[in-house]
């Protein structure tokens, strides 16, 4: 993907996440119909397997595993592959994504569903777990742009998003916002850093890149 497209998609996705959060928090006195319907549907059909699946992803996608474990594993793998610039890029993406999520959480301060079954931190929008999953998925795709990495990343993000609603810890639109933010941060950073990551001098970039 050319740099112009990365800038455009990154800015567009980030803007969409902000607009979505503003519409939900300031445009509705109650949760949007879709959010309320999905939360009620999940609550009525939630089974043990759904909860177990969601609890596993809750542990993987949050706490020290998500903050340190997974990022360090990705960074270590890149360093072992002798791709130190890619490791630096990944590290910056993880930190920037987490920071963007916290900024938006405090900006919107959306209340979580009343029936959530796990303890979580302040702010429902956007979903930090989903944003982290999207960050990992898009980092891997940017560094290894293959069909299979795109498919695997999409499945991972969808699974994390569903798991958050299975636990009623997030509204469905929170997970959409998280996916938008996590993806946007990586694409914007890629637009600025990808030539350096690949060791390409500015004079060697293709025209229109």
Q: Which residues contact 41 (CB under 8 A, 6 or more apart)?
A: none
Instruction: Note the pLDDT of residue 209.
Output: 41
Does the predicted TM-score (pTM) go above 0.85?
Answer: yes
Residue pLDDT, tens place only, 100-120: 999 999 999 999 998 888 888
Radius of gyration, CA atoms only, the chain: 18
Helix (H, G, I), strand (E, B) or coil at 38: helix
Q: Using CA atoms, how far apart are residues 209 and 202, in angstroms rounded to an integer?
A: 10
Instruction: Note the pLDDT of residue 201.
Output: 59
C-alpha triplet 144, 148, 149: angle, nearest 5°:
40
Instruction: Note the pLDDT of residue 205.
Output: 53
Residue pLDDT, tens place only, 147-206: 999 999 999 999 999 999 999 999 999 999 999 999 999 999 999 998 999 886 554 555
Nearest to 110 by CA among 8, 32, 192: 32
């Amino acid at each position: 993907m050319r740099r112009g497209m990365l800038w455009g998609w990154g800015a567009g996705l980030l803007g969409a996440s902000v607009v979505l959060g503003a519409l939900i928090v300031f445009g509705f006195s109650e949760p949007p119909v879709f959010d309320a319907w999905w939360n009620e549907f999940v609550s009525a059909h939630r089974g043990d397997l759904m909860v177990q699946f969601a609890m596993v992803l809750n542990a993987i996608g949050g706490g020290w595993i998500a903050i340190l474990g997974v990022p360090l594993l990705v960074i270590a793998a890149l360093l072992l592959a002798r791709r130190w610039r890619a490791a630096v890029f990944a590290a910056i993406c993880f930190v920037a994504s987490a920071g963007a999520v916290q900024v938006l959480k405090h900006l919107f301060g959306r209340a979580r569903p009343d029936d959530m079954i796990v303890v979580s931190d302040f702010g429902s929008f956007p979903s930090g777990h989903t944003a982290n999953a999207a960050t990992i998925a898009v980092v891997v795709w940017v560094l290894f742009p293959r069909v299979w990495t795109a498919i695997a990343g999409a499945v991972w993000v969808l699974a994390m998003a569903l798991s958050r609603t299975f636990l009623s810890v997030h509204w469905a639109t929170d997970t959409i916002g998280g996916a938008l933010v996590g993806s946007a941060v990586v694409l914007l950073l890629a637009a600025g850093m990808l030539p350096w990551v690949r060791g390409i001098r500015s004079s060697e970039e293709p025209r229109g890149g």
